[in-house]
Structure 1
Amino acid sequence: MSVHFTVSGLTRNLIHSLGLDHEQAPRPLTPEQSLLLDCYLAGQIPDSAWSDYVFEMPELERHAEVRRARGLA
């Protein structure tokens, strides 16, 4: 017997926020997401708006963390 289930976006976000996902590198960003990240890191997007974007696209925060860690922010 096998059990199949899908992980909803909310559950995926929870797993990510708890650090239980073991992705080595964040997924590549679309050109629009990359521009959004660049604008945020340049201080053109307030933190309150950024948190809304991150809620919708959690991979943005992973990319921001990687850029900060590399000193590229």
Structure 2
Amino acid sequence: MSIHFTVSGLTRNLIHSLGLDHERALTPEQMLLLECYLAGQIPESAWHDYVFEMPELEKHANARRGRNSA
């Protein structure tokens, strides 16, 4: 019996299992918004407006908070 795998597949699985793949889907502008929000530079009311327009931002913010608190 033999096991075959690719390094790219293992790397992709490792990145996913560590929760590091969530940032790939954001545009540079969305990443800037996320960084500013996490740094406390965007008020909650404005953040909720951004999240209403771009719901994926909330998922990424929650993932970042979870990773930073671990």
**TM-score class normalised by the smaller sequence:** 0.5 to 0.7
1:33 paired residue number: 30
Structure 2 unaligned regions, length at least 5: 1-20
2:43 paired residue number: 46
Aligned CA RMSD, in angstroms, stands at 1.7
Q: Deviation above 6 Å: which 4+ runs of structure 1?
A: none
Amino acid in the other structure paired with 1:69: G
Paired residue total:
48
Task: State yes or no: 1:55 paired with 2:52.
Answer: yes
TM-score normalised by L of structure 1: 0.61
TM-score normalised by L of structure 2: 0.63
1:13 paired residue number: none
Q: Provide the C-alpha distance between the structure 1 equivalents of 2:66 and 2:38, rounded to a whole number of angstroms.
A: 13
Give the number of the structure whose residues are more often helix, by fraction: 2
